[in-house]
Structure formats: C-alpha cells, structure tokens
Chains A and B, each alone.
Chain A
C-alpha cells in the first residue's frame, strides 16, 4: 500500500541552484516543428516543471534533403546550386568554401579581381545574414519594428545580388576559378553608398534594440556558455567568440584576401551580464557587421581591373586525394571534407556544419531556464535548419 508520502519519495527531485523547487508533474512540451521561434523546422522536446525547463531534447531531420548523397552523383559544377540550399541565408559564403576546396585540389589560380569580388559579396552576405538574425531575434523577444527597418537594408543587398548573379537568395555566383559575372562600376558605387548609410543606421538600430533595457534584461545572464563548454561542444563562429574566445578563421587561418585586410575580431566582453550570455552573442554579431563594413570599404578601394574567372577545364576532374577546408561563415565555421577518386564527381563530400554542432548546445543551455528564455537562447545561437539537416 502506498501512501502519499511514499509516492513522493519515489519521484525525482529537482534542485534549482541550491534550493529544491516545488515539484509538480513534469510536462512534456513540443516546441516545433512549426514554431516561429525555432527559425525553421527544429523540434525541441522540452520537459518542464511549471515554467522551468528541466530537459530539452532537439529532434532534427525535418529538412533533410540528402545533400551529401546528391553531391556524390553530380559533377563538380553542379554541386554549387545544391551548396546554396544548405544555408540559404548565407549562400555566398557556402559557395566560397566549396569553390576554395575544389580550387585547392585543382591548383587553379583565381584572378585578383575575382578575389576582391568574392570578399565583397561574402562580407555583404555576412551583413545580410546578421540582419536576419538581428530582425528575427528582436521578433523572438517581442520587438517587431526593428525587423521592418533592417529588412529594408537587407532588401538593398539582395537587390544588388540579384543584379549581380540573377537570383535573390540561391545565387550560384561564386564558381570554381572565379565568379560568374563581373561587377560594374555602378554597382561598386551603390555598395559604397549603401555601406556608408548602413553604418550610421546600424548604430541607430543597436541603440534601439541592444541598448534597450527590456531587451538587455531578457538576454543578459541568459543562456551562458562558458569557454570550456564551447570548446567541448565544438562551437565556432559568433557563438565561440561570444564566449570570449578570440578565434576567427579569417585571421587565424587566412584564406582569400583576408590576410591583406585590416579588421578586428570582436569577442564577448560581458558588458551587460556574464561573458557568454545571449547579449554577448548578439553584440558580437552587431560588431561583426561593422567589421564587415570596414572590410568592404578596403576592398572597394583596392579592387583591380582584370579577368573575373580563371582558367578551368571544361570537364572538371579533381585528382585523387582528400582535403578538409574550413571557412568562416556568418554562423560559424563551415568545413568541406572532399574525397575524390579522380572522377568527374566527388567520391564523398562531407559538410561540417556549424549549426549542427550548435544545436547540440541546447541540451546543456536549456535546463534551469524559463520557457521564454529558451526562445531567447535558441534565437541567440542563430541556427538555420537548412544547414543543420543539409
């Protein structure tokens, strides 16, 4: 015969901080797959004790499109449109990493002008991608207006990309050996006027969102990721830098023209709370946009005349071997592990996606938080499910 007391003793004990909290039954709650705060089709199964999250289990795969299997059956040029569809908010950066990996295997020389164009479009893409983070993160936390402001600016970037490549999001612009189209002087002038205006506007947006007391109260001291945890879970990009680690592939393992350009690597400093909280990750991204503007400005000054695509054989056959090449994408490090057997198609193309590893942070960041703070945490690690599931 079980009494009420005995029943209680057999139940799990939940200790928050150092005091035991009143325990009701654990409630299982499904966040997603269709949930506005999960930025795509992520399903997080959370067990809550009233408002407090006890456990969070991410379920992935709702956007799995077999990229790696497809890549094994496509020629090297045909992979690029598929690469775009991984992180559809930063397709230029995705393409660049792939093109670099194949170029390195082929030994192709990329013309100087193409290198400059690549840096310009990749940094514009970084701004566009961080703009989406900025806008949607504000929406997650209840501020609707900033979203509309920043998307006007994103629209300008996308319009420019459309004129450059022909598509708004899935560009297929950076090709093996160079870029598809040349950039005109008129477009360069427009980029110049855009970044001049946007630099001023971004300061305004930051004071509207980041400095706002409500926003900083919602994000400071929430979802703290320590340095050790960041390394242990393989976090990269703004998430790692938000935890105070000064690591940027553009500086540390330079590629393209980045070693000739002058820019800083912003890291989280814990201005509003602890180092590694959501506000730090937000702030790192905002300051990265300023750095991107700085990089673009230098490229606009330095761009040279010349060809925009190098000599690449008509049928690309990559010599047998393997390469692992990492680039710094807006959301973190993107690695391509390309294994070739000398044929027309890759033998194996494995993608190291930063978002995939960042999703594995959720089970350690979520416990102990309120459900509303979990939304802030998911927003701050800025995942794109296209890249998670590939």
Chain B
C-alpha cells in the first residue's frame, strides 16, 4: 500500500462581494475582447490569398526548386562536396584534347564533358549551400514552387534530360 500526496491548486476564498467582482470583471473583459474582435470584422483588409486561383509570387532570392543550367556547368563537383545530405550525383569525362574548345557564358573553359547531373530532390534540404559555391553560377535556386509528385523516382531531377532542360525557359530569370 502506498500513499500518494498531491498538491492542491490554490483557490481564493469566495466572499459574496468577491463573487460580484468576479462576474463584473468577467463581463467587462469579455466585452473588451469582443470590441477588439468586432473591429476586425469591417476594419481590416482581407489578407488571405485564395490559393489555387491566386498565386503568390515568391521573393527573388527565395530558395525553391533547384535548376542546373548544364551547358554552363564545368563539373567541378564543388556543389556535391558542399552538400550536407549528399544528394547531388555528378559524373563527368575528360574532354579529348582534339575536341572543339567550348566555354561557359562567363568565359570559363569547360574541360570535362558532363555525363550525369542528378539531384535527388526528395533528399534535398534546400539549404542553398550548393548554389553559393558554384563558380559559374549555373546551379541556382529558382522561385518555382509546387512540384509534388506521386513517385520517388519523379523527384530525381536529371538535368541532362530534355524534359527537365525545357524548364529553363519557364523558371529561370534572365
């Protein structure tokens, strides 16, 4: 057999006058609250956005869907190294010396042929570390949002695939 002692919550003694005071303060504070609430009924502009019909434009440096402009990528692997969750898979082959010399948009020579550039968006944590280390600024966060998919395989973005390259015109500014 065990005895359990419990603390009792403190309750003030209720006198007759106190009872009336309580009723008065309850009514008073409730009306103060109601007055504030009623001001909101007509006094405020509507702040909600009717989402599927009205779409919000995200701020320009918002970290949303990643896009790699594969033509400007020099396969330096810096993004893959800096990625804290290891979700960027890159494979590249050295360009033959006799091949035509190509350059990125900002003039960096491309010495490697990109064979694979896949980001597993299901693993990605959208921290933005990969975009800050990119020397040619080809890997960027775009402001495109709303890209849920039914399968995990569809979350893997192969940036060399033509359908994903086609996003470029839609989601990349400038």
Q: Which residues of A contact B127 (CB under 8 A)?
A: 80-81, 84, 170, 172
Interface residues on B, range: 35 or more
On chain B, the residues within 8 Å of A74 by CB distance are 84
Report the nearest A residue to B7, measured CB to CB.
Answer: A368
Whether B59 sits at the interface, judged by CB under 8 Å, is yes
B7 touches A12 (CB 8 A): no
Q: Does chain A have a CB within 8 A of B125?
A: yes
Give the most central of B11, B128, B132: most A CB within 10 Å: B128
**A 12-56 contacts with B by CB, 8 A:** 12-18, 52, 54-55
Interface string of A181-223 (1 = CB under 8 A from B): 1000000000000000000000010011101111000000110
A152: CB under 8 A from chain B?
yes
Q: Which of B24-32, B88-96, B163-171 faces chain A? A: B24-32
- B1 and A368 contacting across the interface, CB-CB below 8 Å: no
Interface size counted on chain A using CB atoms at 8 A: 54
In the bound assembly, the distance between CA atoms of A262 and B98 in angstroms comes to: 69
Q: Per a CB cutoff under 8 Å, which of A11, A54, A77, A82 touches B6?
A: A54
Among B4, B28, B36, residue most surrounded by chain A Cβ atoms (within 10 Å):
B4
Interface string of A225-236 (1 = CB under 8 A from B): 000000000000
Q: How far is the CA of A16 from the CA of B5 in the complex (A)?
A: 6
CA gap between A181 and B62 in the complex, in Å: 12
The reply to whether B6 and A14 contact each other, CB–CB distance below 8 Å, is: yes
Q: Are A221 and B11 in contact (CB under 8 A)?
A: yes
CB of A103, distance to nearest CB on chain B (Å) = 18
Q: Is the pair B8, A167 in contact by a Cβ cutoff of 8 Å?
A: no
Which of A55, A166, A211, A274 lies in contact with B10, CB distance below 8 A? A274
Interface string of B1-35 (1 = CB under 8 A from A): 11111111111000000000010011011101100
Inter-subunit contact A81/B125 (CB<8 Å) = yes
Query: Could you say which of A152, A170, A213 contacts B126, with CB atoms under 8 Å apart?
Result: A170
Most interface-central of B11, B59, B84, B129 (chain A CB within 10 A): B84
Q: B9: which A residues are within 8 A, CB to CB?
A: 221-222, 368-369, 373
Of all chain A residues, the one with the shortest Cβ separation from B56 is A159
Which of A54, A212, A221 sits near B30, CB closer than 8 Å?
Answer: A212
- Asked if A166 and B11 make an inter-chain contact with CB atoms under 8 angstroms apart, the answer reads no
In contact, A12 and B63 (Cβ under 8 angstroms) = no
Residue in A15, A172, A204 with the greatest tally of chain B CB atoms within 10 Å = A172
B40–A166 touching, CB < 8 Å: no
Q: Are B47 and A166 in contact (CB under 8 A)?
A: no
CA distance A81 to B125 in the complex (A): 8
Is B29 in contact with A213, judged by CB distance below 8 angstroms? yes
Contact indicator A211/B61 (Cβ below 8 Å): no
B55 to chain A minimum Cβ distance, whole angstroms, is 15
Bound-complex Cα distance A135 to B131 (A): 36
The distance from the CB of B153 to the nearest CB of chain A, in whole angstroms, is 25
**Is residue B108 within 8 Å, beta carbon to beta carbon, of the partner chain?**
no
Shortest Cβ distance from residue A185 to the other chain B in the assembled complex, whole angstroms: 16
The reply to whether B63 and A166 contact each other, CB–CB distance below 8 Å, is yes
B37 within 8 A of A: yes
Which residues of chain B come closer than 8 Å to A211, judged between CB atoms? 29, 32
Contacts of B128 in A (CB 8 A): 166-167, 172, 180
A15: chain B residues at CB < 8 Å are 3-6
Q: Known contacts being A80-B127, A167-B63, A172-B127, is A273 close to B29, with CB within 8 Å?
A: no
